[in-house]
Structure 1
Amino acid sequence: MTGTLVDRLPAGAYPDDLLEGFVAWTTDMGLELYPAQEEAILELLAGNHVILATPTGSGKSLVATAAHAAALARGERSVYTAPIKALVSEKFFALARDFGPDNVGMVTGDASVNPGAPIIACTA
C-alpha cells in the first residue's frame, strides 16, 4: 500500500496508535527506523521534548516528520523552519508529498502558499 502519511494516521492521538501508523508508513516507503530514531519518536509521542544530535544522514528529518504527523493527528499545527528559501522550498515539496498538498503550506519573506495549512514550512 502506498499513499500519504495522512492515510496511515489513526483517528485519535494515542501514542501507540500513532507509532503503529507511522511505522506502517515507513515500511510502505521501504524505510526502517534506526534505534535512535525510534527512541526519539517514542519520546515525542509521549509528549516529551527531544533534542536529537546524530550525524548527517542519520534520519533526523524522519523524526521531524513523525512530530508533524503527531501534531496533525492531534489537530495541532506544526512548523518547519530553515534559514534560506531554497531549503524551505525543498522541504515544502517533501512535506506535501508525505502529507498531501492540502495539509502543507509555505511562508517566506516574499511568498505564501496555503498559509492556513496545519503544517507550515517557513524561513526562520
Structure 2
Amino acid sequence: MHLPELLADLDDVPSDLHEEAVFDAFVAWAADQGLSLYPAQEEAVLEVAAGSHVVLATPTGSGKSLVALGAHFSAMARGVRSYYTAPIKALVSEKFFALCTVFGAENVGMLTGDASVNPHAPIVCATAEIVANIALREGADADIGQVVMDEFHYYSDPDRGWAWQVPLIELPDTQFLLMSATLGDVDWLLEDLRRRTGRESTLVGGTDRPVPLSFDYVLAGVQETVELLIRDGKAPAYIVHFTQASA
C-alpha cells in the first residue's frame, strides 16, 4: 500500500487529534512493512507531525531515511508541498525512485541541474542548490511547506554551504527536518530557528548505533572483496567510488 492511501482515513479525525493520528498511521504502515521504529525515530516523527523544526543528529545506520518518509507523509497530510534535498545528484535520483515506491510515481517529482520530472508533485527531490535558488527567487511566497535536508553538515562547507543556509533564512514559514550524523553543538541553530520562524525547534540525537559498524583495511580488489562479503553474509553491500571513471 502506498502511504498516501492512508490519508483518506484521516479525513474525519478531529483537528486536535490530527497530529497524533498522522503519527499512528505512519507507525502502523511501517509495521506492515516489517519495520519497528527506534525511540529516536519515534521522537523525530512525532515532533515533525506536531509541526516542529527537527534537527536529527543520530549515527549512520540509525534510520534517518524512515524519519524523512514520516516527514513527507506528515506534509501531505497537512496539504503542503515538501522537498527532499541532498548534495549529490546521484543521491537525489536514488531517493526519487525510493519515494516513488512508497508514495506512488504520481506524487513524486525531481529537480536537478539537468533533469525535471513531475516538478509540481507534492513531494519533490532536488539538489540543495535548486531549493536555495527557489528560496532566493520567491522567498516567503515559495510553495515549499517543508524541506528535508540530508547531509546537513554541508551547512559549514566553504563553497557550497550557502545552499543549506539560504533556505533557513528566506523560507520563514517552512518546516525543516535537518539530518546529519556528523553535527556538533546545534543549540545556536535551534534558537535561531525559533527566533526567526516562531516555530518550536527540537534536537533529536543520540549515540546508539542500531546497526553495528566495523572497519577492515584490505589490499584485495573490489570484486574479490565483494565476493568475501557475500560469503560471510555481509551483503547487500553499498560501494562508493571516488570518481565516476573508477566506478
What is the one-letter code of the residue matched to 2:70? A
Match of 1:98 in 2: 102
Provide the C-alpha distance between the structure 1 equivalents of 2:46 and 2:24, rounded to a whole number of angstroms.
11
* Matching of residue 57 in structure 1 with residue 55 in structure 2: no
* Matching of residue 83 in structure 1 with residue 87 in structure 2: yes
Q: Which has more radius of gyration?
A: 2
Q: Structure 1: which 5+ residue stretches go unaligned?
A: none
1:118 paired residue among 118, 122, 138: 122
Provide the TM-score with structure 1 as the length reference: 0.94
- Structure 1 stretches (4+) deviating beyond 6 angstroms? none
RMSD: 1.2
Match of 1:8 in 2: 6
Match of 2:43 in 1: 39
Compute the displacement of 1:60 (Å): 0.8
What is the one-letter code of the residue matched to 2:41? Q
Compute the displacement of 1:47 (Å): 1.2
> Quick check: 1:80–1:122 contact (8 Å CA) kept in 2?
yes
Compute the displacement of 1:76 (Å): 0.2
Provide the C-alpha distance between the structure 1 equivalents of 2:63 and 2:101, rounded to a whole number of angstroms.
17
Deviation track 1:5-24 (CA, whole Å, cap 9, x = no partner) reads 11223236711110111011
Provide the C-alpha distance between the structure 2 equivalents of 1:114 and 1:46, rounded to a whole number of angstroms.
28
Compute the displacement of 1:41 (Å): 1.1
Provide the C-alpha distance between the structure 2 equivalents of 1:4 and 1:57, rounded to a whole number of angstroms.
24
Provide the TM-score with structure 2 as the length reference: 0.48
Provide the C-alpha distance between the structure 1 equivalents of 2:64 and 2:72, rounded to a whole number of angstroms.
13
Provide the C-alpha distance between the structure 2 equivalents of 1:100 and 1:123, rounded to a whole number of angstroms.
21
Compute the displacement of 1:97 (Å): 0.6
Match of 2:142 in 1: none
Match of 2:32 in 1: 28
Deviation track 1:27-63 (CA, whole Å, cap 9, x = no partner) reads 1110000000101111111111111111101011111
> Quick check: 1:45–1:70 contact (8 Å CA) kept in 2?
yes
Provide the C-alpha distance between the structure 2 equivalents of 1:122 and 1:41, rounded to a whole number of angstroms.
22
Compute the displacement of 1:120 (Å): 0.3
> Quick check: 1:8–1:24 contact (8 Å CA) kept in 2?
no
Identity of aligned residues (%): 65
What is the one-letter code of the residue matched to 2:87? P
